[in-house]
A and B are shown apart, each in its own frame.
Chain A
């Protein structure tokens, strides 16, 4: 059993009852503020070894897909020739990062990603998941988290945002786009 699956915040348990899971998740998030808010302003993302191929070590396939779609909007460049999230190792890097962390620190992340997917339903009263929205609607949904009056939602936004930036901007393929010459070694 992976460390994440051992967590009481495991999505396998959370999906048993959507309401209970949501309530539990936010109580858990509130209770573990130090760990969760810590992810909000990640300055130093932390992959010790990138995974090989597409094998996921921390997230499951569904969570990885949600994260991919979140990341695509978080790092939208508007440039037709910009490397696409799906074409590079951005999500795999985040996955490897989370797998390397103390389980108590990374444990809430799968639940957060699933909660983010349910955001339009939970907070905007729309019968849709984030992953079912158009790009413009997705941006609106993300902005709702960013500007929410609920502190925890804003913290959650920062956590996901910074994970996405970590995954995307640590990829060599992105650097020419922003004029970063890369390491000298």
Chain B
């Protein structure tokens, strides 16, 4: 049963074996696995339940429907825009379907540096296999690579750099290109069309418009979740209470620590909300001589890993990924205004970009904010600023090699415009907050897992070190930046947590 509580109104009191907070890449998996084993499950999702009929391929309609704080969540200084999903299915509804496992050097580093002895590639294998099967992960076929990705691939190979066509989780894709606005064809194998329906079929009660606001604990054991029924702008329209001996928190790396801090629980280590990593990203834009209509087809199918060597250094590096936007998204990502801005917008159909994504050493924090929202702080270290700038140089180099006649580096307040044949030395040597639009779609590590209760929030199975029955299964448990798109790893860790709960059920069922 997937119920839009906003449409019914009133107050709700429920009980279940397990209450799951969040229905995205972590929560939906836990809900489906545990409900399928016969346990009663309630899922609380503060966003709305949108379906393919609602995904109308328009920015003005879809972006506010799908994103947390209507897409405006930012760090307190405005330096980084943090994009997260806010709907049934979470960020998997708007993501671009890169399907990667965690890089082995990262898992090795987590195990060795964070005391996660039980976290081995072998122990993760069953969970990865289940998740990849359920999400129908497969290689992207050559004929599915769109115009921009083909051009970027050619430029990368021309320069002798390393890159590859990736795996994805789509089935029957019609290559419309509107993945970021929700799939109108249910081809994207997001949680919305995979694990959520599976949880539903297994009897889980999935409540949309239900915002968890407090987790109550008695005697160091989790007891209930209190929350509100909320409308689209977050206004309270009623209350909801769910009693459960097990609570699984999967609200994302911003909302999860915010909720724990508001509840005043599970933070003896003082690490809840700390260690925030963002995978900060900056886009560099290429403009070709002829229209390439980069917004059509699978948006991201190629991946450039030339500038990251995790076996040598598991703590830093950049990856580059093709990207195309729609008119509003493109306009706001190009600095300036008026005629000079329109000179670039006029070439919209000839435009394609590369995202420089940083595997960040820098870290920030999430705290309870004064407006009832989480307060996100983040500052790039000097080394990371240099890496982002170097990434822009490589991006510009690849775009020119791919045939772009002009490259726009989105420095603020005015963009840096390079013509073919120009050198790249004009690109700044450091890029920090305010120097260019920086975006994060992968906040992580704010409730990190680890072997030591004094320095981590949960153990290798996502279980709180101090509150019995409390688990966390979202990107907040990553001990460090993942250095790769996180969708599959988030789901695999959630699967692992679900099976851990089921295997030890009698310990919790009191």
The answer to whether the Cβ of B316 comes within 8 Å of any Cβ in the partner chain is: no
Contact present for B371 and A32 (CB under 8 Å): yes
Q: For residue B346, which residues in chain A have a CB less than 8 angstroms away from its CB?
A: 77, 177-178
Write out the residue numbers on chain A whose beta carbons fall within 8 Å of the beta carbon of B347.
Answer: 178-179
A136 to chain B, nearest CB (A): 11
Size class of the B contact interface (CB-based, 8 Å): 35 or more
In the complex, the answer to whether B338 meets A183 with C-beta atoms within 8 Å is no
Q: How far is the CA of A18 from the CA of B269 in the complex (A)?
A: 49
Chain B residues within an 8 Å CB radius of A102: 69, 233-235
Partner of A37, one of B78, B337, B348: B78
Instruction: Check B74 against A37 for contact (C-beta < 8 Å).
Output: yes
Chain A residues with CB under 8 Å of B130's CB are: none
- Kindly state whether residue A129 has any CB partner on chain B within 8 Å: no
B-contacting residues, A34-73, CB 8 Å:
34-35, 37-48, 50, 73
Contact between B59 and A170, CB atoms less than 8 A apart: yes
B contact residues around A169 at 8 Å (CB)? 327-328, 330-331, 345
Contact of A41 among B69, B178, B332 (CB under 8 A): B332
User: Does B63 sit within 8 A of A, measured CB to CB?
Assistant: yes
B369 at the interface (CB under 8 A from A): yes
| Chain B residues closer than 8 Å to A122, beta-carbon distance | none
Q: Does A175 contact B (CB under 8 A)?
A: yes
A102 nearest CB across to chain B (Å): 5
Q: Mark B319-351, 1 if CB is under 8 A from A, else 0.
A: 000000011111111001111011001111110
Q: In the complex, which residues 187-238 of chain B have their Cβ closer than 8 Å to any Cβ of chain A?
A: 232-235
In the complex, which residues 358-410 of chain B have their Cβ closer than 8 Å to any Cβ of chain A?
Answer: 369-373, 375-376
A83 → B minimal CB distance (Å): 13
Q: With A34-B375, A44-B71, A183-B178 in contact, is A75–B342 under 8 Å at CB?
A: yes
Q: Which of B59, B348, B370 contacts A44 (CB 8 A)?
A: B59
How far, in angstroms, from A181 to B348 measured CA to CA in the complex? 11
Pick the contact of B59 from A45, A101, A155, A174 — CB < 8 Å?
A45
Contact present for A33 and B439 (CB under 8 Å)? no
Flag whether A142 is at the interface (Cβ < 8 A).
yes
Contact A74 B337 (CB under 8 A): yes
Question: How many A-B residue contacts, CB cutoff 8 Å?
Answer: 176
The chain A residue sitting closest to B80, CB to CB, is A41
- Residues 166-178 of chain A, each 1 if its beta carbon lies under 8 Å from chain B, else 0: 1011100011011
List of B residues within 8 angstroms of A34 by Cβ = 74, 76, 369, 371, 373, 375-376
Q: Across the interface, do B184 and A105 meet the contact criterion of CB distance under 8 Å?
A: no
Task: Choose among B60, B66, B327, B371 the residue with the greatest number of A CB atoms under 10 Å from its CB.
Answer: B60
Instruction: Find out whether the CB atom of A38 lies under 8 angstroms from the CB atom of B337.
Output: no
Residues of B within 8 A of A177 (CB): 346
Interface residues of B in 396-443 (CB under 8 A from A): 413, 434, 437, 439
Q: Complex Cα distance A44/B56, Å?
A: 15
CB distance from A105 to the nearest CB of B (A): 7
B176 engages A184 (CB within 8 Å): yes
Chain A residues whose CB sits within 8 angstroms of the CB of B235 once the complex forms: 102
Asked if B77 CB lies within 8 Å of chain A CBs, one says: yes
Q: Are A40 and B78 in contact (CB under 8 A)?
A: yes
Contact for B78 among A103, A155, A174, CB less than 8 A: A155
Other-chain contact of B413, A39, A74, A154, A178 (Cβ < 8 Å) = A154
| 8 A-B residue pairings within 8 Å (CB atoms) | A34-B369, A37-B77, A43-B332, A48-B232, A78-B342, A166-B328, A170-B58, A179-B348
Residues in chain B within 8 A of chain A (CB atoms): 56-61, 63-67, 69-74, 76-78, 81, 83, 176, 178, 184, 232-235, 291, 293, 295-296, 326-333, 336-339, 341-342, 345-350, 369-373, 375-376, 413, 434, 437, 439
Which 3 A-B residue pairs are closest in the complex by CB-CB distance? A46-B64, A44-B71, A37-B78
